[in-house]
Homo-oligomer: A and B are copies of this chain.
Amino acid sequence: MTTSRVVSTGEDHETVLDNATAAAEKLAATSPADIAGLLRGVAAELDAHTEELVPLAQRESHLPEGRLRGELVRTTFQLRLFADTVEEGAHLKATIDTPDPDWPTGARPDLRRTVLPLGPVLVFAASNFPFAFSVAGGDTASALAAGCPVVVKAHPGHPELSRRTAEIVAGALTSAGAPEGTFALVEGTEQAKAVLLDERVRAGAFTGSNTAGRALFDLACSRNSPIPFYAEMGSVNPAFVTPEAAAGRGAEIARGYLDSYTLGVGQFCTKPGLLLVPSSVAQRFRDVLIPEVEQRAAAPMLNDGIENAFRETLGALGDHAAVETLVSGRRSEGEVGPSLLYTSARELVDNREELTAECFGPASLLVGYSDTDELLEAAGVFTGELTATVHGDEEESIVAPLYRTLRARVGRLVWNGWPTGVSVSHGMQHGGPYPATTAPIHTSVGTAGIERFLRPVSFQNAPRAVLPEALRDGNPLGVPRRVNGRMETPEQG
């Protein structure tokens, strides 16, 4: 008996969901310490298989070894950080209101509120992070940390890696004592849709394109019982260079921009797809950038589907009447070099739909703005972005209004840096209004992502024996609790 099943395309998924449903009840009764043990068990086994997994990932993703090693470290660190978070227990949102006969809305009973796992979660893996956003990635870690069984839809871009990772995760979960049905892998779009539409699945999570994310969100909402569907989709991640920053350190900013938009062959959802600079210095940016872009090596993209989509969206952008192609990336057999395009902020405002479409790959659009009024107007065209970046000097008067405009439109605002590189941490927000995501009040990176899979329940006048431990008198778990409206944080070791 193993904890997982790997189900191939077309095979019946009934057993997977029967097992996940049975596991859900057992996991809901599992202590935070034991949940943490499962996460750490998975992390340890993945680490132990580094020398097997990294070459497999290289072969299927065309990503370089160093990047993949780092990504696997990120993946297992994430699992361990979530384990620590689960043990600390703030995610349980334990809240206790003691009885109050004088409560103004009528005598208040003993009310104790905490969260319980939603139930089986379907995770759609992404192709561009074969470890960190795939089988054992952030969504899987979040759902397991919440105590939810996970069914992963494998990304077809790295099938062998997906299967092998799933075997290792499943084995680790079994060894760590997880109930049968805690984890499974399914393959194939039709099978995944059938699972998503099954009433036993209680939430979905996705990282990928707008087209696929929206289609799956629509399916999740169309069910007899709609479920939360957390899709992290496309983003153009505009970056804004103020006049002072452009004047003072334009060349440095230009090189940082190039490094950021070509990192990982431009295959990051946080790639800066636009850089807005004063048109008065745009020529200098072009002079610095063009030779450097031309010299950058071409590299293979993740897979043919990604490459074809990139060529198509880049072609449409380059063909737009308002866009000038400065460097058309070399394209040899199976390799793609970086591209650079140019337009004006006026054209960006007037053609916002076409010019703010995500172009997933090593291409970006340099944009010249005439003055800070136009800069602000351009900032206002965005509706939902994972990130925006500002390069500026603190004293400039444009900074405050620019931040006010941008913070209403993005999940993360970067100052004098670059949006690629998403720290797995407590303070991270990887999300944003639609179309960046379908769930603007949540994050898919960082420990706050766990709450997506937890559902509050209040216990009124409950006998002690049936209360979740987090709510019992004396706080046996030692978790932060809100008692009669006041936060009580236990001593921390």
Contact = CB atoms under 8 A, between A and B. Distances in A.
A492 interface: yes
Interface string A391-433: 0001000011001100110111111110001011111110101
A345 interface: no
Number of chain copies forming the complex: 2
A484 B426 contact: yes
B428 A394 contact: no
Interface in A100-144: 103-106, 108-109, 111-113, 116, 118-119
A408 B109 contact: no
A78 B106 CA distance: 12
Nearest to A74: B105
Interface in A410-467: 410-417, 421, 423-429, 431, 433-435, 438-443, 447-448, 451-452, 454-463, 465-466
Contact of A105 (B73, B108, B459, B492): B73
Interface stretch (A7-15, A82-90, A305-313, A326-334): A82-90
Tier of interface size on chain A: 35 or more
A55 interface: no
Contact of A95 (B202, B426, B461): B426
A403 B95 contact: no
14 contacts: A74-B104, A97-B425, A103-B423, A113-B429, A116-B407, A221-B226, A225-B433, A226-B438, A227-B434, A228-B440, A403-B466, A413-B462, A414-B461, A429-B456
Interface of A: 24-25, 28-29, 70, 73-74, 77-78, 84-85, 88, 90, 93, 95-97, 103-106, 108-109, 111-113, 116, 118-119, 199, 202, 217-218, 221, 225-228, 383-384, 394, 399-400, 403-404, 407-408, 410-417, 421, 423-429, 431, 433-435, 438-443, 447-448, 451-452, 454-463, 465-466, 480, 482, 484-489, 492
